Amino acid sequence: AQSVTQLDSQVPVFEEAPVELRCNYSSSVSVYLFWYVQYPNQGLQLLLKYLSGSTLVKGINGFEAEFNKSQTSFHLRKPSVHISDTAEYFCAVSENKLIFGTGTRLQVFP
């Protein structure tokens, strides 16, 4: 069965610093991988997704993620964060349905 583990429940970081949010998945077949962002009191917004092809996926707002099949990981990165990046980030995996991780709260401090 598919599952997702987000290792960090909270990640504090200073503005303009780089950040990496970790995600590991488990699946018996090829999967699609996603990162979503949820700003306070709002719905979900798709940041990026991996379907096939290049393992480095670029998304919106300067985020990117790298698919690593051997390590079953799909970590999200941004080289320089802004205050406005403060939000909850969800990694998700899809075989025939979308399963989410428990989320990582990114808190950016000035």
Partner 1 sequence: SQTIHQWPATLVQPVGSPLSLECTVEGTSNPNLYWYRQAAGRGLQLLFYSVGIGQISSEVPQNLSASRPQDRQFILSSKKLLLSDSGFYLCASSPTGTGNDYTFGSGTRLTVV
State the residues that interact with partner 1 by CB under 8 A.
6, 32, 34, 43-44, 46, 49, 51, 90, 94-103
| Nearest residue (CB) to partner 1, 81 versus 101 | 101
The first and second tokens of residue 46, run together, are 């798709």
| Nearest residue (CB) to partner 1, 71 versus 102 | 102
- CA gap 70, 76 in Å, rounded: 17
| Nearest residue (CB) to partner 1, 6 versus 73 | 6
CB of 86 to partner 1, least distance (A): 16
CB of 102 to partner 1, least distance (A): 4
Listing DSSP states for 14-25 in one string gives ETT--EEE--EE
CB of 32 to partner 1, least distance (A): 5
Give the E-state strand segments of the chain in sequence order. Answer: 3-5, 10-14, 19-21, 24-26, 32-38, 44-50, 56-58, 64-68, 73-78, 87-94, 98-100, 104-109
| Nearest residue (CB) to partner 1, 86 versus 94 | 94
CB of 76 to partner 1, least distance (A): 15
Place of tokens 């989320």: 103
